[in-house]
Amino acid sequence: MKRILYIFYFFLLLGSFSARSQVTVPAEILPQKETVSAGEEFFLALKLKLPRGWHVYWKNAGDAGEAIDLKLTLPEGFAETGRFWPTPRRFKVSSLTEYGYDRDAWLLVGVRAPDKFGEKEVLEISGRAVWLACHDECVPMAQDVATLIVFDRETKSAENEELAAVVAELPEKTDRAVFFETPDSLILSHSLPDQAVSAYFFPENSKTIIHSAPQRMKVSDNKAFLFMQKVPAEDFVPSEKLKGTLVFYNVQGETLKAWDIEASKTEDGLPVFEEPLVLYDFLSALFFAFVGGVLLNLMPCVFPVLSLKAFRLLNVDKSSDPAARRKAGLCYTAGVVLSFVLISLVLIGLRKAGAELGWGFQLQYPPFVYGLCLFMFFLGLVFSDVVSVGEKISAFGLNLGRNWGDFGTGVLAVVVATPCAAPFMGTALGYGLMNPAPVTICVFVVMGLGLAFPFLLLDFYPSLGRFLPKAGAWTALLRQFLAFPLYGAAAWLLWVLAAQEGNAALGVGLIGIVTISFCCWVFQAAVNTDSLKKISLIVLLVTIITVGYGFAVLSPSYLEAQKQTGIEWQPYDTDKIQEYRQAGVPVFIKFSAKWCLTCLVNEKTAFSSAELAETFRRKGVAAFAADWTNRSDEITAALESFGRGGIPLYVYYAPHAKQPQILPQLITDQTILSFLKDL
């Protein structure tokens, strides 16, 4: 066995050496001129001579690769002044986009000679070049390089012609570029060179744009606007400057002009682009919109609502009136398409007003997420038979006519579909949102038709439903089972709410769910108990008030006001507390936890007070929050030092006080203010 392994390792090593031997990339370092004088600046250039079909990488390699590197050893007194990269090219390798050079590759280094030399000196500049050369395979390479330069006060040597040509083609630096940022795109703006028909931006930072995504140029007032797709939000690195190389091309695809830019971010509005409609692009966008709409039916966020429509189909007799079935299908399609039209109109209006919004924008609004969460949870209760709202449960599960129910299902399907993006949708949406309003509406209408198409087909051709099982007693069990996707959707929306506005918003959502559960239970009990009917109306009123309060506290205006007027809590830090006390600063410490109900009550009744927050700021009170939600030996020891073994605990140190004042466990803002009145 060992012998076999030795043979395997031998051939593995032999293969790696043979791979390296298949390609030879000679490297050399060239000075801009052979003689230099004191204080003179000149270029040193690393040149790589690449075989046909091979390429090396720019400073940002793109989706894969490694940039050329050169580590120089300069004589004493010499200093680098910068590194300069010629204009790169794009290489498509499968689905990847890479940036680099083929044929002759160069890396230029600016060098400044010292201010003093001897009479005449010959100096050596050496270095080590490292690069990755790729074709069908990638081979890491390295080579030591060196060159000689002569210091001579009298003799002036001519420039290296080959290097001079490279220097002349280096991208020029410019500060005339600006960029716009939207939720999905970066738009780079620069003056348009004559005869330029396209452009491409090579970013220095690999975490700004998707390298493989197309870059589309639009023109307004002789300025080019280059639209680029941002990387996903979790990978995006925001910056006030957009650095890289902007290249313009003519109709033959040849480089017209290249600039090294450092674009500043602008808050100005984008111009309106008047462009002729290209029929091929328009029809392609409609095709992708339809296919994307069809595939949207398979997305997990849409399934809970589509199960409502599927459940109705299971309960419809295959021999039922064909006209009624077609009408139901048309009503469902109308609900879907009209909802898509409404979304497109809202998007068009808001974008014209200056807002940068995209697909799923309504789920960026916490009250909408909260309301949709409660509604999905209520539907789950209906399907679980916790509450009965009529015998005909279609669409919303309400006691509505079947056609209105199908229409409502279509509306709800679009509402919950907006967080999802099916394949092909991104291309269609990008095209639609970047074109005039009629084109945008057409794209959204076709996308809606795609979403409605499968069920519309089943309603118009009932024979296609022969593969569906026949309705029976088991459908009651299925209905209860379908409640769980609805509960799952509600849980997911709660998670979204918490991600948007934190634990306080999560608490509001949970209170709403518990209140609705209790209300449904009381109403169901009141069906068979007359004495509970009046109580059920009171419970309904309390539920409406509670849920309405949830909408109010989750409104953007209220949340923003809370952030501006809330107490600025610092994490518990013993050393920092001691520093404040020694400096005579009043200190307030709050020991609490998220699982402590009394703590949560005090948060609402005392610490949410705008008057208390303003007093803390005005009187310079240092507020510390000791969060005991998770085990902390430091906080446990602090509690014990105050003679307590549990929470809540509120401690106040007056300026220069040696002993703390312990406040009551049930507390109000006025109680705390009474301790601060002497400040």
pLDDT in tens, 198-225: 899 999 988 899 998 889 888 888 889 9
- Closest to 211 in 3D by CA, of 52, 324, 93: 93
Would residue 652 count as lying in a domain? yes
User: What DSSP assignment string belongs to 16-41?
Assistant: HHHHHHT----EEEEESBSEE-TT-E
pLDDT at site 47: 93
Residues 556-599 pLDDT 10s: 766 666 555 568 888 898 888 888 888 888 999 999 887 777 88
Residue with the larger pLDDT of the pair 679 and 210: 210
Reported confidence tier of residue 641, pLDDT bands at 50, 70, 90 = confident
Residue 474 has pLDDT above 60, yes or no: no
200 and 248 in one domain?
A: yes
pLDDT at site 127: 92
Reported confidence tier of residue 13, pLDDT bands at 50, 70, 90 = very low
pLDDT at site 403: 63
Would residue 83 count as lying in a domain? yes
**What tokens does 354 get?**
């200056």
Asked whether the beta carbons of 387 and 431 are under 8 A apart, the reply is no
Residue 390 has pLDDT above 60, yes or no: no
| Single-letter residue type at 109 | V
Residue 132's SS3 state is: strand
pLDDT at site 466: 55
Work out the average pLDDT over 45-61. 91
Domain end position, chosen among 116, 139, 168? 168
Residue 71 has pLDDT above 70, yes or no: yes
Residue 387's SS3 state is: coil
Reported confidence tier of residue 3, pLDDT bands at 50, 70, 90 = very low
Please tell me the pTM assigned to this model. 0.47
Domain end position, chosen among 265, 298, 317? 265
Work out the average pLDDT over 523-542. 81
User: 216, exposed or middle or buried, with CB in 10 Å at 0-12, 13-18, 19+?
Assistant: middle
pLDDT at site 92: 84
Residue 457 has pLDDT above 90, yes or no: no
User: What DSSP assignment string belongs to 166-195?
Assistant: HHHTSPEEES--EEEE-SSEEEEEEEPPTT
Domain harbouring 192, CATH code: 2.60.40
Work out the average pLDDT over 451-473. 67
Domain end position, chosen among 265, 296, 323? 265
Kind plus residue range of the DSSP H or E element containing 342: helix 322-352
pLDDT at site 57: 94
pLDDT at site 226: 92
Work out the average pLDDT over 153-162. 75
Bridge partners (DSSP) listed for residue 202: 245
SS (H, E, C) 564-629: HHCCCCEECCHHHHHHHHHCCCCEEEEEECCCCHHHHHHHHHHHCCHHHHHHHHHCCCEEEEEECC
**What tokens does 259 get?**
């600039």
227 and 164 in one domain?
A: no
228 and 102 in one domain?
A: no
Segments forming the whole domain that contains residue 327: 282-364+391-473
Bridge partners (DSSP) listed for residue 265: 179
Cβ count near 103 (within 10 Å): 12
Residue 121's SS3 state is: strand
Highest mean pLDDT out of 353-367, 381-395, 582-596 = 582-596
Residue with the larger pLDDT of the pair 545 and 121: 545
pLDDT at site 303: 60
157 and 192 in one domain?
A: no
The number of distinct structural domains making up the chain is: 4
C-alpha 220, offset from chain centre: 29
Segments of 55-205 assigned E as strands: 55-62, 69-73, 79-84, 89-93, 96-102, 104-112, 120-134, 138-152, 172-174, 178-181, 185-191, 198-203
User: 265, exposed or middle or buried, with CB in 10 Å at 0-12, 13-18, 19+?
Assistant: middle
Residue 479 has pLDDT above 90, yes or no: no
CA distance 258 to 242: 15
CA distance 21 to 12: 14
Work out the average pLDDT over 474-488. 72
Number of H helices, E strands in the chain: 19, 24
Work out the average pLDDT over 112-141. 85
Residues 266-296 pLDDT 10s: 888 777 666 566 677 788 888 888 988 888 7
Among the listed ranges 113-122, 222-231, 334-343, 598-607, which one has the minimum average pLDDT value? 113-122
Phi-psi region of 656 (alpha: psi -120 to 50; beta: other; left: phi over 0): left
Question: b or e along 395-430 (b: 16 or more beta carbons within 10 Å of the residue's beta carbon)?
Answer: bbbbebebbebbbbbbbbbbbbbbbbbbebbbbbbb
Kindly give, in sequence order, each residue whose CB lies less than 8 Å from that of residue 617, ignoring residues fewer than 6 positions away.
568
Reported confidence tier of residue 299, pLDDT bands at 50, 70, 90 = low
Work out the average pLDDT over 187-194. 91
| CA–CA distances in Å: residue 468 to residues 310, 311, 315, 322, 458 | 10, 11, 10, 17, 11
Residue 154 has pLDDT above 70, yes or no: no
295 and 440 in one domain?
A: yes
178 and 159 in one domain?
A: no
pLDDT at site 16: 41
pLDDT at site 87: 94
Work out the average pLDDT over 499-528. 83
- Closest to 372 in 3D by CA, of 494, 514, 553: 494
Highest mean pLDDT out of 64-73, 236-245, 614-623 = 64-73
Long-range contacts of 481-486 (CB under 8 A, 24+ apart): 482/304, 482/307, 482/308, 482/311, 482/383, 483/379, 483/380, 483/381, 483/382, 483/383, 483/384, 484/380, 485/303, 485/304, 485/307, 486/304, 486/307, 486/376, 486/377, 486/379, 486/380, 486/383
pLDDT at site 23: 60
Q: Where are the alpha helices (DSSP H) in 461-555?
A: 474-481, 483-501, 503-526, 532-553
Would residue 521 count as lying in a domain? no
89 and 124 in one domain?
A: yes
Residue 358's SS3 state is: coil
289 and 218 in one domain?
A: no
Reported confidence tier of residue 420, pLDDT bands at 50, 70, 90 = low
Would residue 561 count as lying in a domain? no
Asked whether the beta carbons of 586 and 679 are under 8 A apart, the reply is yes
16 and 48 in one domain?
A: yes
Residues 15-38 pLDDT 10s: 444 444 456 788 999 998 888 888
Would residue 442 count as lying in a domain? yes
Highest mean pLDDT out of 94-103, 366-375, 385-394 = 94-103
290 and 259 in one domain?
A: no
Work out the average pLDDT over 407-423. 69
Reported confidence tier of residue 122, pLDDT bands at 50, 70, 90 = confident
Highest mean pLDDT out of 245-254, 484-493, 525-534, 596-605 = 245-254
Asked whether the beta carbons of 96 and 210 are under 8 A apart, the reply is no
**What's the whole-number average pLDDT of the chain?**
79
**What tokens does 374 get?**
């409660």
Reported confidence tier of residue 118, pLDDT bands at 50, 70, 90 = low
CA distance 87 to 166: 10
CA distance 227 to 49: 35
Residue 556's SS3 state is: helix
pLDDT at site 55: 92
Domain harbouring 152, CATH code: 2.60.40.1250
- Closest to 40 in 3D by CA, of 177, 163, 152, 204: 152
Domain harbouring 610, CATH code: 3.40.30.10
Reported confidence tier of residue 189, pLDDT bands at 50, 70, 90 = very high
Bridge partners (DSSP) listed for residue 369: none
90 and 205 in one domain?
A: no
Reported confidence tier of residue 422, pLDDT bands at 50, 70, 90 = low
Would residue 377 count as lying in a domain? no
pLDDT at site 263: 92
Residue 539's SS3 state is: helix
Would residue 560 count as lying in a domain? no
Sheet holding 79-84, edge to edge: 27-31, 41-49, 104-112, 79-84
Question: CA dihedral defined by 622, 626, 627, 628, rounded to 10 degrees?
Answer: -170
181 and 157 in one domain?
A: no
Among the listed ranges 18-22, 138-142, 314-318, 474-478, which one has the minimum average pLDDT value? 18-22
pLDDT at site 116: 78
pLDDT at site 315: 54
- Closest to 421 in 3D by CA, of 300, 303, 321: 300
Would residue 622 count as lying in a domain? yes
Longest dimension (CA), the chain: 114
Residue 638 has pLDDT above 50, yes or no: yes
